[in-house]
Amino acid sequence: MIRFENVTKVYEQNARPALDSVSLEINRGEFTFLVGASGSGKSTFLRLILKEDKASSGSVYVAGQNVANISSWRVPKLRRGIGVVFQDFRLLPQKNVFANVAFAMQVIGKSRSIIRETVPEVLKTVGLEGKEKRMPHELSGGEQQRVAIARAVVNRPGILLADEPTGNLDPITSMGIMGVLDKINQNGTTVVMATHDDDIVNEMRRRVVELKNGKVIRDEAKALYTSMIPVVGESRRLKDASGEELNRAQGAQL
C-alpha cells in the first residue's frame, strides 16, 4: 500500500536529512506505529505520503503509484484516498459535529443525500451518536479527536495517517481513541500512526517502525515501544519491555 525506496528528505542544505535513505513497505490493512524521538522524521514520513513535501531522492509509492509522477491537478485524487488526523484535531470551530464531518464530503462534491446517509453512520463508528448538533467547544478533547477521525474516514480512504492523535489526551481517553482506530483498521483501512505514547504501543502490540535521526533503526512486528533486543550503544532506555521491569529498576535506584 505504501512503499518507500531509499527515500531521503533534506529540508535545508547542510542540515542533517529529516529522512535518510528510508526503505520500507507497509501492506494493505496493516496497522503500523511510527516511533522515535522528536525530530526523528515521523511527520516528514507522513507528509511525503501525502505529497505535501517532495522527497529529495528515492521514490515514494502509494497504492502502487510513484507520487513523484502524480501531476499537481491529480494530487487531490491521491489525497481522497488518504485520511489524516493530527494532535490538534483541526476542527472548524463555527461548524457543529455533523457539519465538520459533512464538510469533507461537500468539498469533493458528494450529494446531499449521500452526506445525510453517511455522516451519521461514521459518527456511530467513532462513538459519537447523538452528538451531531454539538459545537466543537462543547466537546471533550477525546470527542473532538473522534470528530476529526470521522472526518478523515468519511470518504472511505484506503489509508489513515495519524500524527500523534493522542498527544493531547489522557491515557484513558487515548485508549478510547485507539479503539476507534483499531476498529477502522479492522474494516480494512491501512493505518500509520506516529506516536510518543509508549503505553499505547505496548498495549496494542502492532508493527513498530522506529526512526532515529531520519534512519529506520527498528522494524518489528507485534512489538513494544522499545526494543526487547538491546541496541548497541543505546543508553537512553528508561523503560523496558514490560512496565514491571521499569518499576523494579526505578525501585532499585531509589
Partner 1 sequence: MRLLFILGEIGSGLRRNLSMVISVVLVTFVSLTFVGAAGMLQMQINQMKGYWYDKVQVAVFLCNDGSTAVGCASGPATKEQQDNLQAMLESPAVKQYINDFQFESQAEAYKHFKEQFSNSPIVDSVSQDQLPASFRINMKNPEKYQIISETFSSQPGVETVSDQRQVLERIFSWMNGASVAAMGVAAVMIFCAVLLITTTIRLSAFSRRRETGIMRLVGASKTVIQLPFILEGVIAAVVGALLASVTLWLMAHFWLNGDLSRQFLNTPFISSTQVLVIAPVLIALGGGLAGISSLLTLRRYLKV
Q: Which residue stretches of 55-197 are H helix?
A: 75-80, 97-106, 112-125, 141-153, 171-186
Task: Give the closest residue to 166 by CA, choosing from 73, 62, 87.
Answer: 87
Q: Which stretch binds Mg ion (CB under 5 A): 42-50, 63-71, 151-159, 198-206?
A: 42-50
**Contacting residues toward ligand ATP, per CB under 6 A:** 11-12, 18, 36, 38-44
Beta-bridge partner residues of 207: 32
Query: Is residue 209 within 8 Å of 216, Cβ to Cβ?
Result: yes
CB of 111 to ligand ATP, least distance (A): 37
Q: x/- contact string, 45-84, with partner 1 (CB under 8 A)?
A: -----x---------------------xx--xxxxxx-xx
Cell for 217? 533503526
CB of 84 to ligand ATP, least distance (A): 14
Query: In terms of CB distance, is 90 or 124 closer to partner 1?
Result: 90
Instruction: Report how far residue 249's alpha carbon sits from residue 247's, in angstroms, rounded to the nearest whole number.
Output: 5
- Per partner kind, with CB cut-offs from 5 to 8 A, the member of ligand ATP, partner 1, Mg ion, none near residue 77 is partner 1
CB of 92 to partner 1, least distance (A): 6
Q: Does 103 participate in binding partner 1 (rule CB under 8 A)?
A: yes
Q: Does 43 participate in binding Mg ion (rule CB under 5 A)?
A: yes
Instruction: Report how far residue 204's alpha carbon sits from residue 82's, in angstroms, rounded to the nearest whole number.
Output: 22
Query: In terms of CB distance, is 20 or 143 closer to Mg ion?
Result: 20
Residue numbers of the site for partner 1 (CB under 8 A)? 50, 72-73, 76-81, 83-84, 90, 92, 103-104, 106-112, 151-152, 155
